[in-house]
Amino acid sequence: MITIDQVRQRAEMDARTNGCYLNPDKDFLNDLFVGLKTNEERYGYPSCPCRLATGKFELDRDINCPCDYRDPDVKEFGACYCALYVSRDVSEGKTQIKPVPERRPKEIQARAYGLKLEAPTPQATASSPTTAPMPAQETKIRLKLYYCKQCGYVCFRESPPYICPICKAKMEMFTELPIQPENAG
């Protein structure tokens, strides 16, 4: 059993830790907290209140709040996809939130929802293997060790974070750690 107050406390700690702010509209914010509480009780983890979760953690991991897209969206648009987290300027009413497009890659969405991706070129469409049902092994998620070349932060993920949570370096600063875990994934 989780309370709205616990959801709020967590979001406040999280915003402060990661350098962003909560939406200043208290009613709007509360509605999102209710959504997070509902999802946590339903799935066992607080998936994004503005996106459709599958109920399988591995497929929903990137849209668990705070989602993988929160930091680059706050940096670029002033808010995350839900507008739960905002930038300092938005928090202080200095700027408006820009429309936030869905940053979640189509491939990740397709994998989560078991959809086929549209083929990228007309030729490929004609006889593309992507029009065949997606084989089960393609949904296997392989985790790797990455590190930030700027500050040395180490993480174990499918792909590097968009922004380093420690030094805020961009994704391109991450590279694979030259060490291989056993049975990763």
The footprint of a copy of itself (CB under 8 A) covers: 6, 9-10, 12-20, 45, 57, 61, 64, 66, 71, 74-76, 87-89, 143, 145-147, 149-157, 161, 163, 165-169, 173, 177-184
Q: Is the peptide bond before 66 cis (omega within 30 degrees of 0)?
A: yes
What does the alpha-carbon distance between residue 117 and residue 101 come to, in Å, rounded to a whole number? 19
Q: Give the residue with the Cβ less far from a copy of itself, 111 or 174.
A: 174
Smallest distance, a copy of itself to C-beta of residue 165, A: 5
Smallest distance, a copy of itself to C-beta of residue 115, A: 24
What does the alpha-carbon distance between residue 123 and residue 106 come to, in Å, rounded to a whole number? 20
Smallest distance, a copy of itself to C-beta of residue 29, A: 14
Smallest distance, a copy of itself to C-beta of residue 110, A: 22
Q: Give the residue with the Cβ less far from a copy of itself, 119 or 155.
A: 155
Q: Give the residue with the Cβ less far from a copy of itself, 134 or 144.
A: 144
What does the alpha-carbon distance between residue 40 and residue 26 come to, in Å, rounded to a whole number? 21
C-beta separation of 46 from 40 below 8 A: yes
Question: Cα dist. 95→81, 86, 179 in Å?
Answer: 17, 11, 45
Smallest distance, a copy of itself to C-beta of residue 122, A: 32
Q: Give the residue with the Cβ less far from a copy of itself, 50 or 61.
A: 61
Does residue 165 come out as left (phi exceeding 0), alpha (psi in the -120 to 50 range) or beta?
alpha
C-beta separation of 73 from 81 below 8 A: yes
Q: Give the residue with the Cβ less far from a copy of itself, 35 or 173.
A: 173
What does the alpha-carbon distance between residue 146 and residue 160 come to, in Å, rounded to a whole number? 6
